[in-house]
Every structure is written in structure tokens, then in C-alpha cells.
Amino acid sequence: MSQEQGQEKGEDQTELSLRLRAPATATAGLLPLFVEVTLANDNEATDYYALTNCDPWSPPFPVEFTLSGEGGEVTLPARSTATAGATPTGFDLLPHQARTFVLDLSELETDVPPGAWRLSARWVMRHEQPRSSPVSITFEAGDPADAPLIRRLRGLGGGTSPSWANLIQERAALDDEALRRLSASSRRTLLPYLILHEAVHGPQPLSQLPLEFLSAHFQGPWASEASVLTYELFSARAVPDLAARRAAILARWPGVEFRLDQVDRGAGLLTLWREEYR
């Protein structure tokens, strides 16, 4: 179950809007917490150039998340835009274009106490301040026995910093004792990363990876990511109805068009990671 809200009209309304989608419940601690953010250009005549790239695999993000609740207010780390005078880089948003990103808030390494919270987001920019409407999220206490196992898994492979990306990149990660000792609920939360690990290191070519890996994740905040990755698997299969599948994804998530373009160029996430980590 998840919620999605668009930016409300008000005095600080900008021509850019930010939409946020988050799960209704999450586990407190450093287990994955996926949210979907969409930055959209709703202006008929304004072009936006060199907006700061949002790389889900390179936190912190150019999105500032704030949690408000009885415990006060918690603002998660965010990355500022490029400094004045720097060479403009990033992505453009023409009228009626959007970009959708799935981000893991656990990668920001801020432990939020259990309880009921309101989560909101702000795209960090020098001039405009596109903000999302808040969504409700309840943090539940995790299993204390899982905490040291989670820390071990985030540090696999001797990476320079703890990250769930290490669980994907480390070839022997699925054989690690810490993964077997995790509670069943924590292992379920890790499924997107375990799916990515298998897709990167599995013996089958992408054209033969089971689609069932991803089909159970077509709802919730990770759904757009699961759909993009499924499109990459269909592309590897060279299915005759690929164009129709692309159109169906874009009808639901117009903001992932840039990701589908990457797949069409042979530069999808799974393809690139297989080249880098296998």
C-alpha cells in the first residue's frame, strides 16, 4: 500500500512540481526504504536546462526529505546544486516533461525512531523550490538481532562506505552467513537488492532471466523501477511487441522515458552492471 500526492497550489508554487510516493509502513533502522519522486515541468512555455542529476546509486540526492512527527522534525542529508560559475551539467526538462527516480532513503543513513511521521520532499535548487505534499508513513521497530547483520551486509566487499549497492556488487554476497541469519521480514525488505544481485551475477544471459523476479514488484514505490528493468529483459529477448510495452510503461510513468531510451541504446542498468561487475 502506498500514497502519492502532487504539489499543492499556493504562494510558493513554482512551474516545476514534485510528486512523492512512499510506502505506508517501513522498518526503522537501515533496511531499504524506497520512495519514488517525480520532478515535472508543468509550464507551457518554460524550458529548464542543466538540472542537477539525481543518481540513485550516489547519495546524497538533490532532493531534501523531511520527516515530521511527535518526535520532532528530521531532515535527511541532501546534495546542493552546482556552484555558481561551474560548467552547467545535468538534465533538461522541456514543457510537459518529467523525470522519475526511485531512491532508497536508508542510503542516507539517518535512523528514524519508530512512530507515525509525515514525509515530504524538496528538490534542491538555487531559484525555485519545488516541494511535494506530505505523505504519511509509520516506522515500526525492527528486530534488534538484525542490526549487526544489516551493518555487515551493507559493508560487504570492503567498500569505501556502507551501502546496499555492495550487496549487489559483491559476487559472493548471497552466500554470506549474515544474509541467512536475517529475520524473514528483513530478507523480504531486501528482495529488490537480491533480485538485482541475481540479475547481475546470475549465469543466464539477460534474455533468459525469469520475469517472475520482478513481476511481484509492480505495485508500490519500487514499481516504476521494476517496470524499467522488466523492459530491459524484454528488450534482451527482442520481443515483437516491445514498442507497445514501452508505451504502456510511459502511460503510467512518463518520467521514466529517459531510462527506456537508455535501454534502447543498449545502456540499461543491468547491461552496464553486468559489464562492470561480472
Q: Indicate whether 16 pLDDT > 90.
A: yes
pLDDT in tens, 189-246: 999 999 999 999 999 999 999 998 898 898 899 999 999 999 999 999 999 999 999 9
Q: pTM score, two decimals?
A: 0.92
Q: Indicate whether 44 pLDDT > 90.
A: no
Q: Which residues of 36-73 are buried (b: 16+ CB within 10 A; e: fewer)?
A: bbbbbbbbeeeebeebbebeeeebbbbbbbbbebeeee
For residue 188, what are the contacts with CB-CB under 8 A and spacing of at least 6? none
pLDDT in tens, 88-108: 578 999 999 999 999 999 999
- For the chain, domain boundaries: 2-140, 144-277
How far is Cα 87 from Cα 218, in angstroms, rounded to an integer? 39
The pLDDT value given to residue 168: 95
The pLDDT value given to residue 92: 95
Q: Indicate whether 171 pLDDT > 50.
A: yes
Give me the chain's average pLDDT, please. 90
The pLDDT value given to residue 85: 52
Q: Quick one: pLDDT band at residue 4, thresholds 50, 70, 90?
A: very low
Give me the percent of the chain exceeding a pLDDT of 70. Answer: 92
Q: Quick one: pLDDT band at residue 82, thresholds 50, 70, 90?
A: low
* Secondary structure class of 106 (helix, strand, coil): helix
Q: Quick one: pLDDT band at residue 9, thresholds 50, 70, 90?
A: very low
**What class does CATH assign to 2-140?**
mainly beta
Mean pLDDT of 255-275: 97
Phi, psi (deg, nearest 5) at residue 91: -120, 160
The pLDDT value given to residue 273: 96
